[in-house]
Amino acid sequence: MRYLTDRKRAVGLGSAKSGTAHHWSMQISSVALIILVPLFVFTFGSILGSSYEEVVAYYAQPFPAIVAALTLWVGMVHFKNGAQMAIDDYIHGVAGRLTFILVTCLAYAIAATGVYAIAKLAL
């Protein structure tokens, strides 16, 4: 008799040997985005249409800056993981690997640029 959970038995199975970890990563980022996106909409919506000085003063506060940075970062990681699934399904061989590298670099570049811009506003 084995004393393993269903999840523990599934880890390492599948063609890429990482399907369970990828699925859990997508689930966790989805739940995080369910919380972060409404927070971002409410924090960003209240300052929308204001002058530059008011926006800088608003994002100098920690809560809106942290919410915006987390939303951007988690959103880009979620985008990268979702794009990886589509690339794995529809593009094969060297073209698939290159496309995945390009999408990964693009997602992290967007996230880093956005977080840098928010940090520049906040500090």
Task: Give the chain's domains with CATH numbers.
Answer: 17-122 (1.20.1300.10)
pLDDT value of position 17: 62
Instruction: With 0.85 as the threshold, say if the pTM is over it.
Output: no
C-alpha of 59 from chain center: 21
Residue 79 makes CB contacts below 8 A (sequence gap 6+) with 107
In which band, very low, low, confident or very high, does the pLDDT at 4 lie, cut at 50, 70 and 90? Answer: confident
User: Contact at 8 Å (CB) between 64 and 45?
Assistant: no
CB of 121 within 8 A of CB of 59?
yes
Report pLDDT digits (tens) over 62-108: 999 999 999 999 999 999 999 999 998 899 999 999 999 999 999 99
